A and B are shown apart, each in its own frame.
Chain A
């Protein structure tokens, strides 16, 4: 059992099983829709987790990339009648390029300084999206044209459930492979100590930049998927509250845990839906649960529980 859990592909396989199993359990389209939102958030969180959990670099601006991805599939088809899938790829490419250009100077910063620089960067993107109304529809957002593949109009909660679920499994699979690669080893080395990694011959700036670009692409693809599922985009997808939500998902689920990314995303997407039944007490309860979870399971839910299981069953 333990060997099974420790296997490299444990997380993507577990995620795939959950996606398939839930499809038979969830009773209505509403639940399928919420699940699709969880898969999308989890995809962005896996990317951010590669940056935060494995390379140890904080980004408080990832919603900026998420928003760029979302607006790519909204703006490009509307303005240049580009196919939504090409728009998704273009968005991912642009986000990767932006991350590549700004990454080098930004990633020289450390700790809280890196946090504030990425925060400022994310806010710049969010402000551009919210204020350039001629292109983006401004604060009201804009509609996204439906995705059609070979004449087939993609629609319905269950279709999107499977598409986003497949995207998530693919993202998880790529992530665990990256972590197990020489790049992943270099990232963990520079997480432990940049100086030691440099002494050991790791090109620290290069690897930090690589993982920053990769995590930006994850966020962009997730943003595009959300826009296509919703059929609508608003600047909220890019604002700093969303950046902080993404970071919270990473930490709640567990830094450096691919499966934890899904757990963290599930909690922060599903919990507010459940808590709406408490009306005015929604935020109070959400804040309370965040504090309690982090105090009790301080390394994040998945790593803390895994450690607990290891300790109780010798």
Chain B
């Protein structure tokens, strides 16, 4: 039983990061139909920028906002310089552009930063807290709590603010949104900035546990994408459930079945779920208009 609890905690911690990456996917996808494979790079940028700003002697509580801001600027540039000029291109073309962007950002990171693994000091020490026989790192609470706060803020933003509702309107029907006076181009740019910020926060929160380096983005994008699809593309709740599920599956699979095949276990379950529910957990059945 303590084992089970231990696996669950570590699975949920990693799963929270996947969930945040999947949320980033979902927000951009809803606003613009773009599947942004550079989403994982925001996580890298958040973690690495914080590491290097603190290494320069800046205290952590200044470094973190600066790193989030840096990621947001890069998110905005990504939209303005790479996505906006290709407006109207096919979905696959846009995906290749974001893959190009992720290679570009990775290449940039290895020049601006370096190719080493880095860690941040844990925010509230390294002494594990014992819960029901499982040793939980205090940083795990930061990750889970941070993810919960982000989700709550997003819920408030989308349901209670005018800008949030403008984003939802754009997601529902871009032409209709433009007709009622919503600046959809601004909304799409904003969704990139928002996703970048969420990714960067995830990267900063998890850096003390999993370490960070210039090339962590590709794998995170992959897992986040899989999580978003498992939940049902375009559904924020699905993204969160999908992310946590992938994290849990990996941790339980590694603990009980085989640590070398932990990624395989997650993907076998994803395949099985998609065979039964071709639209993910929360996906709507789609119909094709001829």
Contacts and interface: CB of A to CB of B under 8 A. Distances in A.
B23 to A, nearest CB: 16
B267 A120 contact: yes
A110 interface: yes
Interface residues of A, number: 51
Contact of B225 (A116, A289, A295): A116
Contacts of A290: 96-97, 99-100, 103-104
Interface in B250-272: 260-261, 263-264, 267-268, 270-271
A106 B225 CA distance: 17
Contact of A295 (B97, B222, B270): B97
B290 A193 contact: yes
B286 A299 contact: no
Interface string A239-252: 01100100110011
With most chain A CB atoms within 10 A of its CB, the pick from B92, B93, B99 is: B92
B93 A294 contact: yes
A112 interface: yes
Contacts of A193: 288, 290
Contact of A117 (B96, B103, B271): B271
A195 B287 CA distance: 10
B43 interface: no
Contacts of A106: 271
15 contacts: A109-B278, A113-B278, A117-B271, A119-B222, A131-B260, A195-B288, A248-B96, A284-B107, A286-B104, A287-B106, A290-B103, A291-B104, A295-B97, A298-B86, A300-B93
A115 B99 CA distance: 14
Contact of A119 (B89, B103, B108, B226): B226
A290 B99 CA distance: 8
A8 interface: no
Given A120-B267, A124-B264, A295-B86, A194 B288 contact: yes
A110 to B, nearest CB: 7
B226 A110 contact: no
Given A113-B233, A117-B271, 7 more contacts: A108-B275, A111-B91, A113-B229, A241-B218, A248-B99, A287-B107, A290-B104
B189 interface: no
